[in-house]
Amino acid sequence: MPRKTTIKDVAARAGVSYQTVSRVINEKGEVSPEARAHVEKAIAELDYQPNAIARSMIRGRTHTLGFIAPNLVDYTFACLAEGATSEARQRGYFLMSIATQKEEEVGVWCDEIIGSGRAEGIIAANPYAEERHKYFERLAERGAPVVFFGANWYMGKVSSVQGGNEEGAYLAAHHLISLGHTRITMLAGPLNEDSTQRRSRGFARALEEAGLEVSPELVASGDWSASSGYDAMQHWLHTDRLFTALFAQNDRMAVGAIRAARQHGRRVPEDLAVVGFDDIPLATYFDPPLTTVYQDFFLQGREGARILIETIENPSRAPENIIIPSQLVVRESCGAKQAASREVGSR
């Protein structure tokens, strides 16, 4: 295997010191036109490729973005990371990702990558989960570039990107009401999360417009997992609650709830209409295919990286808070005749 060309090889070929070569490569310091020409010629002849990361650090720039999420396996977070990576690459940046659900690790990681200069800014997915928001707030208060995915409670000070949570939930509930349902259960996510609160508001708004009330006994909270959806439906079915439809605030909880309903002899959609949220890839292959609210997580990821990079390059840039519209995807689980059609919503 041939030996890799070094900066000292370039210096020897050009007849200058390696410090002179470094100044030419990194555009720092005075170099005579003659010496610069010799160095550039030597670089071309030896096909020398400077280390991009090391070169960036010498210039005081790493062109690296930090991305932190509770996990990178979940469809939502994986798509966000993929979209952010795509945008970062097109703009000449790297994306460094980490997944952790331990609150103490969030603080250590944020301080380390920002304090050490390894990353120039952070994209925080689901920042309001548990107590992690305090670490991102601290970074924002210190002037570090930060973009939030899925929340914007720091409106006016920190940029954010999120899906149309409230409008998407409104569309889901409005659709069930339009099919004649008046007793609709809602399976919410963790109550402290911004997306849960927004989806709950959209659901309540649709019922209020129809002259219906949100019945507390028909609302439960899960943790976004299929098992929590299963447990919630088991609870409802062991009570005397009457309901004909379910709005689950994500698809996994919807799938878990459908399984529990079937075990109790409730058919979907004949006895129970179901609408989920997110439109995960398996939603269309589930039996029956799941009516759900589509979110473009890849686009959200791209927008988040775009905003962060533009903030890094222009620190005086005003914060930007973006909502990517959601779409209601009508399939068979809700019992609608127009199965597999798509309603695009905004009122």
Output the tens digit of pLDDT for each of the chain's 347 residues.
566 778 788 889 989 987 788 778 766 667 888 888 888 888 888 877 665 545 554 455 778 898 988 888 888 899 999 999 999 999 889 998 888 766 667 767 776 666 666 788 888 887 555 555 666 777 777 777 888 887 665 556 788 899 999 999 999 999 999 999 999 999 999 988 888 999 999 999 999 999 999 999 999 999 999 999 999 999 999 988 899 999 999 999 999 999 999 999 999 999 999 999 999 999 999 999 999 999 999 999 999 999 999 999 898 888 888 999 999 999 999 997 643 333 333 32
Tell me what pLDDT residue 305 has: 96
CB of 159 within 8 A of CB of 319? yes
Q: Which CATH class is domain 7-50?
A: mainly alpha
Helix (H) or strand (E) holding 245: strand 245-248
170 Cβ neighbours under 8 A, 6+ residues apart: 202, 203, 205, 206, 345, 347
Total residues belonging to the chain: 347
Cα end-to-end span (Å), the chain: 64
Tell me what pLDDT residue 205 has: 97
Give the CATH architecture of domain 64-163+300-316.
Answer: 3-Layer(aba) Sandwich (3.40)
The residue behind tokens 């959806």 is 229
Rounded distance between C-alpha atoms, residue 94 and residue 87, angstroms: 10
Q: CATH fold of 165-294+328-344, please? A: Rossmann fold (3.40.50)
Which candidate, 72, 66, 115, places its Cα nearest to that of 88?
66
CB of 329 within 8 A of CB of 293? yes
Model's pTM, two decimal places?
0.77
199 Cβ neighbours under 8 A, 6+ residues apart: 165, 166, 168, 169, 188, 189, 249, 277
Sign of CA dihedral 56, 57, 62, 68: positive
**Where are the CATH 3.40.50.2300 domain residues in the chain?**
64-163+300-316, 165-294+328-344
Tell me what pLDDT residue 109 has: 72
**Where are the CATH 1.10.260.40 domain residues in the chain?**
7-50
